[in-house]
Protein backbone atom coordinates (compact mmCIF):
# COMPACT_ATOMS: atom_id res chain seq x y z
CA UNK A 1 0.00 0.00 0.00
CA UNK A 2 2.86 2.37 0.84
CA UNK A 3 4.50 1.69 -2.51
CA UNK A 4 1.19 2.19 -4.24
CA UNK A 5 0.61 5.54 -2.52
CA UNK A 6 4.13 6.63 -3.41
CA UNK A 7 3.66 5.69 -7.06
CA UNK A 8 0.36 7.52 -7.32
CA UNK A 9 1.72 10.56 -5.49
CA UNK A 10 4.73 10.73 -7.81
CA UNK A 11 2.57 10.37 -10.92
CA UNK A 12 0.11 13.06 -9.75
CA UNK A 13 2.75 15.38 -8.36
CA UNK A 14 1.16 15.52 -4.89
CA UNK A 15 1.95 14.18 -1.43
CA UNK A 16 1.04 10.70 -0.25
CA UNK A 17 -1.19 12.28 2.37
CA UNK A 18 -3.18 13.99 -0.39
CA UNK A 19 -3.53 10.70 -2.27
CA UNK A 20 -4.79 9.08 0.92
CA UNK A 21 -7.38 11.82 1.41
CA UNK A 22 -8.68 11.40 -2.13
CA UNK A 23 -8.85 7.59 -1.92
CA UNK A 24 -10.75 7.82 1.37
CA UNK A 25 -13.19 10.45 0.15
CA UNK A 26 -12.02 13.10 2.60
CA UNK A 27 -12.84 16.76 2.13
CA UNK A 28 -10.33 19.56 1.83
CA UNK A 29 -8.84 18.57 -1.55
CA UNK A 30 -9.17 20.88 -4.55
CA UNK A 31 -11.17 19.52 -7.47
CA UNK A 32 -8.18 19.82 -9.85
CA UNK A 33 -5.94 17.96 -7.41
CA UNK A 34 -8.54 15.24 -6.97
CA UNK A 35 -8.77 14.79 -10.74
CA UNK A 36 -4.96 14.55 -10.96
CA UNK A 37 -4.94 11.74 -8.41
CA UNK A 38 -7.74 9.87 -10.18
CA UNK A 39 -5.96 10.28 -13.51
CA UNK A 40 -2.79 8.88 -11.93
CA UNK A 41 -4.75 5.82 -10.78
CA UNK A 42 -5.92 5.24 -14.33
CA UNK A 43 -2.47 5.75 -15.88
CA UNK A 44 -0.82 3.34 -13.45
CA UNK A 45 -3.52 0.73 -14.00
CA UNK A 46 -4.91 0.77 -10.48
CA UNK A 47 -8.63 0.18 -10.03
CA UNK A 48 -10.46 3.15 -8.59
CA UNK A 49 -12.30 2.61 -5.29
CA UNK A 50 -16.04 2.10 -5.87
CA UNK A 51 -16.97 5.61 -4.78
CA UNK A 52 -14.35 7.16 -7.05
CA UNK A 53 -15.00 5.24 -10.26
CA UNK A 54 -15.84 7.23 -13.33
CA UNK A 55 -19.39 8.45 -12.99
CA UNK A 56 -20.40 7.66 -16.54
CA UNK A 57 -23.59 5.69 -15.98
CA UNK A 58 -25.63 8.86 -16.43
CA UNK A 59 -27.50 8.38 -13.16
CA UNK A 60 -28.65 11.41 -11.14
CA UNK A 61 -30.14 11.03 -7.68
CA UNK A 62 -33.23 12.92 -6.51
CA UNK A 63 -34.02 12.87 -2.80
CA UNK A 64 -37.43 14.03 -1.54
CA UNK A 65 -38.78 13.95 2.02
CA UNK A 66 -42.06 12.22 1.09
CA UNK A 67 -44.55 11.64 -1.72
CA UNK A 68 -47.83 12.07 0.16
CA UNK A 69 -47.74 15.83 -0.33
CA UNK A 70 -48.47 16.21 -4.07
CA UNK A 71 -45.95 19.05 -4.44
CA UNK A 72 -43.07 16.57 -4.16
CA UNK A 73 -44.22 14.25 -6.97
CA UNK A 74 -44.71 17.43 -9.01
CA UNK A 75 -41.08 18.44 -8.44
CA UNK A 76 -39.94 14.88 -9.12
CA UNK A 77 -41.77 14.79 -12.44
CA UNK A 78 -40.35 18.10 -13.67
CA UNK A 79 -36.80 17.24 -12.59
CA UNK A 80 -36.99 13.71 -14.03
CA UNK A 81 -38.24 15.00 -17.39
CA UNK A 82 -35.51 17.64 -17.56
CA UNK A 83 -32.82 15.06 -16.73
CA UNK A 84 -34.15 12.58 -19.27
CA UNK A 85 -34.10 15.21 -22.01
CA UNK A 86 -30.40 15.73 -21.26
CA UNK A 87 -29.64 12.00 -21.48
CA UNK A 88 -29.54 11.26 -17.75
CA UNK A 89 -31.48 8.64 -15.82
CA UNK A 90 -33.14 9.93 -12.63
CA UNK A 91 -33.05 7.76 -9.52
CA UNK A 92 -35.79 8.78 -7.07
CA UNK A 93 -35.06 8.17 -3.39
CA UNK A 94 -37.80 9.07 -0.92
CA UNK A 95 -37.69 9.25 2.84
CA UNK A 96 -40.52 7.56 4.72
CA UNK A 97 -41.38 7.60 8.43
CA UNK A 98 -39.30 4.90 10.07
CA UNK A 99 -37.50 4.26 6.78
CA UNK A 100 -34.22 5.42 5.29
CA UNK A 101 -32.81 8.77 6.37
CA UNK A 102 -31.47 11.42 4.00
CA UNK A 103 -27.92 10.39 4.90
CA UNK A 104 -28.64 6.72 4.18
CA UNK A 105 -30.26 7.55 0.85
CA UNK A 106 -27.32 9.78 -0.05
CA UNK A 107 -24.85 7.00 0.74
CA UNK A 108 -26.86 4.54 -1.36
CA UNK A 109 -26.86 6.91 -4.34
CA UNK A 110 -23.14 7.63 -4.02
CA UNK A 111 -22.41 3.89 -3.88
CA UNK A 112 -24.35 3.49 -7.13
CA UNK A 113 -22.09 6.00 -8.79
CA UNK A 114 -24.58 8.77 -9.48
CA UNK A 115 -23.18 11.74 -11.38
CA UNK A 116 -24.89 14.15 -8.97
CA UNK A 117 -27.78 14.60 -6.52
CA UNK A 118 -30.68 17.05 -6.24
CA UNK A 119 -32.12 17.48 -2.75
CA UNK A 120 -35.69 18.80 -2.45
CA UNK A 121 -36.70 20.23 0.96
CA UNK A 122 -33.94 18.28 2.68
CA UNK A 123 -31.96 18.80 5.86
CA UNK A 124 -30.38 21.87 4.27
CA UNK A 125 -33.66 23.64 5.08
CA UNK A 126 -33.38 22.75 8.80
CA UNK A 127 -31.37 25.36 10.70
CA UNK A 128 -30.65 22.83 13.48
CA UNK A 129 -29.17 20.18 11.16
CA UNK A 130 -25.42 19.60 10.79
CA UNK A 131 -24.37 20.96 7.39
CA UNK A 132 -21.09 19.03 7.46
CA UNK A 133 -22.88 16.17 5.68
CA UNK A 134 -22.88 18.31 2.54
CA UNK A 135 -19.20 19.18 2.89
CA UNK A 136 -18.45 15.47 3.17
CA UNK A 137 -20.46 14.84 0.02
CA UNK A 138 -18.53 17.57 -1.78
CA UNK A 139 -15.34 15.97 -0.50
CA UNK A 140 -16.34 12.76 -2.27
CA UNK A 141 -16.51 14.64 -5.54
CA UNK A 142 -20.30 14.40 -5.95
CA UNK A 143 -21.97 17.58 -7.30
CA UNK A 144 -25.32 18.52 -5.77
CA UNK A 145 -28.03 21.18 -5.86
CA UNK A 146 -30.44 22.08 -3.04
CA UNK A 147 -34.09 23.04 -3.59
CA UNK A 148 -36.23 24.92 -1.02
CA UNK A 149 -34.08 26.09 1.86
CA UNK A 150 -30.80 27.98 2.13
CA UNK A 151 -27.72 27.79 4.32
CA UNK A 152 -24.74 30.14 4.00
CA UNK A 153 -22.59 27.31 5.40
CA UNK A 154 -23.12 25.06 2.37
CA UNK A 155 -21.16 25.70 -0.83
CA UNK A 156 -23.68 24.76 -3.50
CA UNK A 157 -26.34 26.22 -5.80
CA UNK A 158 -29.74 26.73 -4.12
CA UNK A 159 -33.13 27.06 -5.82
CA UNK A 160 -36.03 28.56 -3.82
CA UNK A 161 -39.35 30.37 -4.16
CA UNK A 162 -39.54 33.86 -2.66
CA UNK A 163 -41.38 32.96 0.56
CA UNK A 164 -41.47 36.55 1.79
CA UNK A 165 -43.07 37.73 -1.46
CA UNK A 166 -45.55 34.87 -1.22
CA UNK A 167 -46.81 36.12 2.12
CA UNK A 168 -47.00 39.67 0.79
CA UNK A 169 -49.26 38.44 -2.02
CA UNK A 170 -51.49 36.47 0.35
CA UNK A 171 -51.90 39.11 3.04
CA UNK A 172 -52.38 41.94 0.54
CA UNK A 173 -55.12 39.96 -1.20
CA UNK A 174 -56.95 39.28 2.07
CA UNK A 175 -56.52 42.86 3.28
CA UNK A 176 -58.07 44.09 0.02
CA UNK A 177 -61.10 41.95 0.85
CA UNK A 178 -61.43 43.71 4.20
CA UNK A 179 -59.83 41.08 6.45
CA UNK A 180 -57.88 42.37 9.44
CA UNK A 181 -57.60 39.29 11.62
CA UNK A 182 -55.47 37.17 9.31
CA UNK A 183 -53.84 34.01 10.65
CA UNK A 184 -50.75 32.16 9.41
CA UNK A 185 -50.52 28.36 9.75
CA UNK A 186 -47.14 26.82 9.05
CA UNK A 187 -44.59 24.20 10.06
CA UNK A 188 -41.88 24.19 12.75
CA UNK A 189 -39.91 27.43 13.03
CA UNK A 190 -36.52 25.76 12.62
CA UNK A 191 -37.02 25.53 8.85
CA UNK A 192 -35.70 28.34 6.65
CA UNK A 193 -38.85 28.60 4.45
CA UNK A 194 -40.95 28.93 7.62
CA UNK A 195 -38.75 31.71 8.98
CA UNK A 196 -38.94 33.57 5.69
CA UNK A 197 -42.72 33.24 5.48
CA UNK A 198 -43.03 34.64 9.01
CA UNK A 199 -40.82 37.60 8.09
CA UNK A 200 -42.93 38.36 5.03
CA UNK A 201 -46.19 37.90 6.94
CA UNK A 202 -45.21 40.18 9.84
CA UNK A 203 -43.86 42.88 7.53
CA UNK A 204 -46.99 42.92 5.37
CA UNK A 205 -49.31 42.88 8.40
CA UNK A 206 -47.47 45.99 9.64
CA UNK A 207 -47.61 47.71 6.26
CA UNK A 208 -51.16 46.78 5.25
CA UNK A 209 -52.96 46.67 8.59
CA UNK A 210 -50.72 48.86 10.79
CA UNK A 211 -50.37 46.12 13.38
CA UNK A 212 -47.30 45.95 15.59
CA UNK A 213 -44.99 42.97 15.20
CA UNK A 214 -46.20 41.58 18.55
CA UNK A 215 -49.84 41.96 17.54
CA UNK A 216 -49.27 40.22 14.22
CA UNK A 217 -47.23 37.44 15.81
CA UNK A 218 -50.28 36.45 17.87
CA UNK A 219 -51.81 35.24 14.60
CA UNK A 220 -48.91 32.85 13.79
CA UNK A 221 -49.51 29.19 14.60
CA UNK A 222 -46.98 26.38 14.11
CA UNK A 223 -47.99 22.82 13.35
CA UNK A 224 -47.17 20.03 10.87
CA UNK A 225 -47.24 20.14 7.07
CA UNK A 226 -50.21 17.79 6.92
CA UNK A 227 -53.96 17.99 6.63
CA UNK A 228 -54.24 17.25 10.35
CA UNK A 229 -51.59 19.87 11.11
CA UNK A 230 -53.49 22.50 9.16
CA UNK A 231 -56.69 21.56 10.93
CA UNK A 232 -55.08 21.92 14.36
CA UNK A 233 -53.43 25.25 13.52
CA UNK A 234 -56.58 26.70 11.95
CA UNK A 235 -58.69 25.63 14.91
CA UNK A 236 -56.40 27.63 17.20
CA UNK A 237 -56.45 30.65 14.87
CA UNK A 238 -60.23 30.62 14.50
CA UNK A 239 -60.51 30.63 18.29
CA UNK A 240 -58.50 33.87 18.21
CA UNK A 241 -61.10 35.43 15.94
CA UNK A 242 -59.32 35.09 12.60
CA UNK A 243 -61.56 35.56 9.58
CA UNK A 244 -58.87 34.35 7.18
CA UNK A 245 -56.07 31.79 7.35
CA UNK A 246 -52.96 31.66 5.16
CA UNK A 247 -51.40 28.18 5.11
CA UNK A 248 -47.86 27.14 4.23
CA UNK A 249 -49.03 24.22 2.10
CA UNK A 250 -52.13 23.17 0.21
CA UNK A 251 -52.47 20.12 2.46
CA UNK A 252 -52.59 22.40 5.52
CA UNK A 253 -55.17 24.57 3.74
CA UNK A 254 -57.45 21.56 3.23
CA UNK A 255 -57.13 20.94 6.96
CA UNK A 256 -58.01 24.57 7.64
CA UNK A 257 -61.20 24.23 5.57
CA UNK A 258 -62.10 21.14 7.55
CA UNK A 259 -61.51 23.03 10.82
CA UNK A 260 -63.81 25.86 9.71
CA UNK A 261 -66.57 23.47 8.73
CA UNK A 262 -66.31 21.62 12.02
CA UNK A 263 -67.08 24.94 13.71
CA UNK A 264 -70.07 25.46 11.42
CA UNK A 265 -68.34 28.17 9.40
CA UNK A 266 -68.72 28.44 5.65
CA UNK A 267 -65.67 28.80 3.39
CA UNK A 268 -65.37 31.41 1.94
CA UNK A 269 -68.50 33.27 3.14
CA UNK A 270 -67.37 33.31 6.79
CA UNK A 271 -63.74 32.22 6.64
CA UNK A 272 -61.25 32.70 3.81
CA UNK A 273 -58.40 30.19 3.28
CA UNK A 274 -55.25 30.47 1.16
CA UNK A 275 -52.90 27.58 0.46
CA UNK A 276 -49.32 27.40 -0.78
CA UNK A 277 -47.88 25.33 -3.68
CA UNK A 278 -50.78 25.04 -6.16
CA UNK A 279 -50.39 21.27 -6.08
CA UNK A 280 -51.85 19.15 -8.88
CA UNK A 281 -55.65 18.74 -8.64
CA UNK A 282 -55.93 21.45 -5.96
CA UNK A 283 -58.11 23.51 -8.31
CA UNK A 284 -60.78 20.80 -8.02
CA UNK A 285 -61.28 20.91 -4.24
CA UNK A 286 -64.51 22.15 -2.67
CA UNK A 287 -64.28 25.09 -2.83
CA UNK A 288 -61.48 25.44 -5.42
CA UNK A 289 -58.50 26.61 -3.38
CA UNK A 290 -57.02 30.08 -3.64
CA UNK A 291 -53.29 29.46 -3.31
CA UNK A 292 -49.77 30.74 -3.88
CA UNK A 293 -48.29 28.90 -6.83
CA UNK A 294 -44.71 27.71 -6.52
CA UNK A 295 -43.06 27.98 -9.94
CA UNK A 296 -42.27 24.25 -9.86
CA UNK A 297 -41.42 23.90 -13.55
CA UNK A 298 -38.99 26.84 -13.60
CA UNK A 299 -37.42 25.82 -10.29
CA UNK A 300 -37.01 22.17 -11.28
CA UNK A 301 -35.46 23.03 -14.63
CA UNK A 302 -33.11 25.54 -12.98
CA UNK A 303 -32.00 22.90 -10.48
CA UNK A 304 -31.19 20.50 -13.31
CA UNK A 305 -29.28 23.15 -15.28
CA UNK A 306 -27.22 24.08 -12.22
CA UNK A 307 -26.42 20.43 -11.51
CA UNK A 308 -25.39 19.68 -15.09
CA UNK A 309 -23.08 22.69 -15.00
CA UNK A 310 -21.50 21.27 -11.85
CA UNK A 311 -21.17 17.84 -13.47
CA UNK A 312 -19.68 19.43 -16.59
CA UNK A 313 -16.92 21.08 -14.59
CA UNK A 314 -18.25 24.65 -14.68
CA UNK A 315 -19.73 24.96 -11.18
CA UNK A 316 -22.58 27.39 -10.62
CA UNK A 317 -21.83 30.07 -8.03
CA UNK A 318 -22.55 29.48 -4.35
CA UNK A 319 -25.73 31.47 -4.53
CA UNK A 320 -29.49 31.16 -4.35
CA UNK A 321 -31.69 31.33 -7.40
CA UNK A 322 -34.97 32.83 -6.15
CA UNK A 323 -38.20 32.49 -8.13
CA UNK A 324 -41.26 34.70 -7.73
CA UNK A 325 -44.48 32.91 -6.74
CA UNK A 326 -47.92 33.75 -8.12
CA UNK A 327 -51.26 34.32 -6.39
CA UNK A 328 -53.96 32.10 -7.94
CA UNK A 329 -57.39 33.35 -6.85
CA UNK A 330 -60.14 30.73 -6.84
CA UNK A 331 -63.14 30.09 -4.62
CA UNK A 332 -61.81 29.83 -1.05
CA UNK A 333 -61.40 33.57 -0.43
CA UNK A 334 -64.08 36.28 -0.25
CA UNK A 335 -64.85 39.59 1.42
CA UNK A 336 -64.67 39.73 5.19
CA UNK A 337 -67.88 38.55 6.90
CA UNK A 338 -70.26 41.04 8.49
CA UNK A 339 -69.31 42.97 11.60
CA UNK A 340 -71.90 41.04 13.57
CA UNK A 341 -70.39 37.74 12.55
CA UNK A 342 -66.83 38.87 13.29
CA UNK A 343 -67.84 40.14 16.70
CA UNK A 344 -69.58 36.87 17.44
CA UNK A 345 -66.53 34.84 16.33
CA UNK A 346 -64.08 37.03 18.22
Domain of 29: which CATH number? 1.10.260.40
Answer yes or no: do 192 and 255 share one domain.
yes
Cβ(17)–Cβ(6) below 8 Å: no
CA–CA separation, 226 and 185 (whole Å): 11
The total of structural domains in the chain comes to 3
Answer yes or no: do 340 and 202 share one domain.
yes
Task: Give pTM, 2 decimals.
Answer: 0.81
The sheet carrying 182-186 orders its strands as 220-222, 182-186, 244-247, 272-277, 290-293, 326-328
Cβ(27)–Cβ(139) below 8 Å: yes
Answer yes or no: do 75 and 147 share one domain.
yes
Cβ(37)–Cβ(14) below 8 Å: yes
Answer yes or no: do 107 and 190 share one domain.
no
Helices (H) and strands (E) in the chain, counts: 13, 12
Alpha helix locations (H) across 45-181? 71-85, 102-111, 132-139, 163-176
Answer yes or no: do 187 and 133 share one domain.
no
Answer yes or no: do 154 and 272 share one domain.
no
Cβ(63)–Cβ(120) below 8 Å: yes
pLDDT of residue 295: 95
What are the DSSP E strand ranges found in the chain?
Answer: 59-64, 89-94, 116-120, 144-147, 158-161, 182-186, 220-222, 244-247, 272-277, 290-293, 320-323, 326-328
Q: How big is the chain, counted in residues?
A: 346
- Spell out, as residue ranges, where the chain has pLDDT lower than 50: 55-56, 340-346
Task: Provide the CATH number for the domain around residue 231.
Answer: 3.40.50.2300
Answer yes or no: do 81 and 149 share one domain.
yes
Domain that holds residue 233: 163-294+328-345
pLDDT of residue 194: 97
Looking at the DSSP bridge assignments, the partners of residue 290 are: 274
Answer yes or no: do 150 and 222 share one domain.
no
Answer yes or no: do 247 and 275 share one domain.
yes
CA–CA separation, 238 and 345 (whole Å): 8
pLDDT of residue 191: 96
Looking at the DSSP bridge assignments, the partners of residue 61 are: 91, 117
Answer yes or no: do 66 and 127 share one domain.
yes
pLDDT of residue 1: 52
Answer yes or no: do 247 and 335 share one domain.
yes
Answer yes or no: do 93 and 31 share one domain.
no
CA–CA separation, 258 and 255 (whole Å): 5
Amino acid sequence: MTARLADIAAQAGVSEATVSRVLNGKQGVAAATRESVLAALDVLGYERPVRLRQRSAGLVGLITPELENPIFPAFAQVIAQALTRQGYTPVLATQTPGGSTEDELTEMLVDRGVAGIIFVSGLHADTTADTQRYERLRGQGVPFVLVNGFSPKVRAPFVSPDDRAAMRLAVTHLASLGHRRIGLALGPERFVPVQRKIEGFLRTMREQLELTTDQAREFVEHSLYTLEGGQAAATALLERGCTAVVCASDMMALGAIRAARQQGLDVPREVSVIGFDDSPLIAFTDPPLTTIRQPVTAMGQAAVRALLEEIGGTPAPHSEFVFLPELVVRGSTASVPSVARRTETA
